[in-house]
Amino acid sequence: MPLPRLIPCLDVARGRVVKGVRFEELRDVGDPVALGASYSEAGADELVFLDISATVDARTAAVDVAARVAENVSIPFTFGGGVRSVGDACAVLEAGADKVSVNSAALARPGLIGELAAQLGTQAVVVAIDTRGGRVRSHAATRATERSAVEWAKECEARGAGELLVTSIDRDGTQSGYDLALLERLRDAVALPIIASGGAGNAAHVASALRVVDAALLASILHANPERLASLRSELSELGVPLRDAA
């Protein structure tokens, strides 16, 4: 297995990184390119940018941000939010992104996963799954669906997803630890790499998740602060988590 990955997640709205609690009270915390570059220097293994502005011009904005990130960062990054078609995905990848992440668009039309995989390769297709109580939710977790998380994960794999980004909505933002039981169920259900999201509050939480799955998405634990990523890396090393030497 490749080394465990630490993946800072940057929420982007109208070309700026924003921070907020459950999408409310969004606060501007900086430029996505500058913050992404700082995370890269602090030892990030990959980056995820999620466009949460959800405007009609999200695609244009995403391509512009992806192009500027690619010019300034030489580690892999994923773009999510506003990707609704193969054309959207191609534009973001051509600008320099390595993967796209789809969520509600795939739930609305699961065939999108296969179309993306055929055009971009499975390794470029991340499906984000937001779950609560074993069920999948859509539209930034605001809407319930009838799908079970495990069954949807299997379907995503069969359709050509290359990676799953699994968020426990109950844990998201609570800093009370990842939902390890959920991660174990999904890990056993599919052979795809899995990125854990939601609940990281300290290094021990992250270490526990990385013993179950392949990568940890880091959002509120970092407070948009690259220095926190550097200190987290040291703490994880002390906990025996093997991380890459980024030098």
Partner 1 sequence: MNVAICSYGAGNTRSVQLAFERLGVRADVVGDVNAVLEADLAVLPGVGSARSAMDGLRRRGLDEALRERAAGDRPVLGICLGLQLALEETEEDGGVAGLGLVPGRAVRLREGRVPRIGWAPLDDGGDTYWYAHSFVAETAATIATSEGLTAVVEHRSFAGVQFHPEKSGAAGARFLAARCLSLA
Active-site positions read 11, 130
| Closer by beta carbon to partner 1, 223 or else 244 | 244
| Closer by beta carbon to partner 1, 163 or else 172 | 163
Residue 96 binds partner 1 (CB under 8 A): yes
Instruction: Please give the distance of CA 246 from its chain centroid, rounded to a whole number.
Output: 20
By CB under 8 A, name the one of 24, 25, 146, 245 that touches partner 1.
245
Contact 208, 178 (CB under 8 A): yes
CB under 8 A: which stretch of 65-73, 129-137, 165-173, 198-206 binds partner 1?
65-73
Residue 232 binds partner 1 (CB under 8 A): no
Contact 55, 14 (CB under 8 A): yes
Q: What is the DSSP letter of 223?
A: T
Residue 215 binds partner 1 (CB under 8 A): yes
Euclidean distance between CA atoms 20 and 186, whole angstroms: 28
Measured in degrees and rounded to the nearest 5, phi and psi for residue 231 equal -70, -35
Instruction: Please give the distance of CA 45 from its chain centroid, rounded to a whole number.
Output: 12
Maximum CA pair distance of the chain? 46
How many residues interact with partner 1 (rule CB under 8 A)? Answer: 36
Contacts with partner 1 in 152-181 (CB under 8 A)?
162-163
| Closer by beta carbon to partner 1, 99 or else 147 | 99
Q: Please choose, from the candidates 167, 214, 225, 206, the residue with its C-alpha nearest in 3D space to the C-alpha of residue 50.
A: 167
Contacts with partner 1 in 117-146 (CB under 8 A)?
118-124
Residue 40 binds partner 1 (CB under 8 A): yes
Residue 87 binds partner 1 (CB under 8 A): no
- Cα-based distances in Å from 246 to 13, 45, 66, 75: 29, 8, 22, 10
Residue 98 binds partner 1 (CB under 8 A): yes
Q: How many CB atoms lie within 10 A of CB 180?
A: 17
Q: Please choose, from the candidates 125, 113, 130, 247, the residue with its C-alpha nearest in 3D space to the C-alpha of residue 197.
A: 130
Binding mask 3-22 for partner 1 (x = CB under 8 A): xxx-----------------
Residue 244 binds partner 1 (CB under 8 A): yes
Interaction site with partner 1 (CB under 8 A)? 1-5, 40, 45, 67, 70-71, 74-76, 93-96, 98, 118-124, 162-163, 191-193, 214-215, 244-247
